[in-house]
Amino acid sequence: MTIARQICDALCSGFTVRAIPIGFAIKSPFDWFTGDKMIFYARTKGSLVRLEDSGSTLFELEGAGVDLSSSTRMESLKQLCRDADVFFDEEDSQFYTDYVRADQVGLAAIKFMSFMVRVQDMLLTVRSRVASTFKDDLIAAVQERFGQEAEVAINDAPVGALSYYVVDIVVKHRNGKLAAIFPATSEEKALSATLFAKELELKHIDNVVPFLVFENAGTSRISRDTQAKAMNSELQLATWDGGHSEVLDKIGRHVRN
């Protein structure tokens, strides 16, 4: 079997096509930001087919934090449509292609899925920017609060025996206590914080207090399973939107005592 055939077989096995009144619902093997697989539709008209989304893509993006009231961002979206030969019905909030012959739908579907992935990237860009802003705000607040009584290090490995753990913010108090602070900007960051806390426990390292700080209590960046693991670990948890001063006060109580 050729490599091309293996790739084709693996890709095609991930698609599910189901007949519906307008034509077909197509479930792709590609992840959508809602946590489900990307689903789109083939609307048939005689021997012609057009591809379209459900009409809820924009609402889902806005619900996840993309501000489409911005003229700049909306123009970016319309440019994506033009690049992919996709139409946007503003009244129905639906993306769709022109009708093509049935024997052309394969290539049209690839092009439409590529467009949908690029639309999804708008959310990833926003999330990355928000995560960066949250982390920068937390660093600045920690430096301002503890700069006079402690050394605040950024991207530091606070424990020699665990040098493979680089912590975003480390508060090294003059009394010898350390706060190792992980901003929960991603699933990987939360898991790293949980594992770091477990390593401290196993090695009986008592002068380092690990923190995992969420931007907000209902964050969608971290899965429920990982949040549960963090809650059941030795991590000190805090939520930035619950009150900046309260988070800093909590860090202070642990490093000063």
Predicted model pTM: 0.55
pLDDT at 92 over 80: yes
Residue ranges of domains in the chain: 3-126, 147-256
At residue 153, the pLDDT reads 95
Regarding the domain delimited by 147-256, which CATH topology (the fold level of the hierarchy) does it fall under?
A: Trna Endonuclease; Chain: A, domain 1 (3.40.1350)
Secondary structure of the chain in HEC code, one letter for each residue: CCHHHHHHHHHHCCCEEEEECCEEEEEEEEECCCCCEEEEEEEEECCEEEEECCCCHHHHHHHCCCCCCCHHHHHHHHHHHHHHCCEEECCCCEEECCCEEHHHHHHHHHHHHHHHHHHHHHHHHHHHHHHHHHHHHHHHHHHHHHCCCEEEEEEECCCHHHCCCCEEEEEEECCCCEEEEEECCCHHHHHHHHHHHHHHHHCCCCCEEEEEEECCCCCCCCCHHHHHHHHCCCCEEEEHHHCHHHHHHHHHHHHHC
Residues paired with residue 10 on neighbouring β-strands, in sequence order: none
Of residues 246 and 118, the one with the higher pLDDT is 246
pLDDT band at 248 (very low <50, low <70, confident <90, very high): very high
pLDDT tens-digit series, residues 140-162: 999 999 999 999 999 999 998 89
Backbone φ, ψ for residue 236 (5° rounding): -90, 120
pLDDT tens-digit series, residues 4-29: 777 777 777 788 999 999 999 999 98
pLDDT at 72 over 80: no
What is the mean predicted confidence (pLDDT) over 81-108? 92
pLDDT tens-digit series, residues 27-48: 998 888 777 889 999 999 999 9
pLDDT tens-digit series, residues 176-225: 999 999 999 888 899 999 999 999 999 999 999 999 999 887 766 688 88
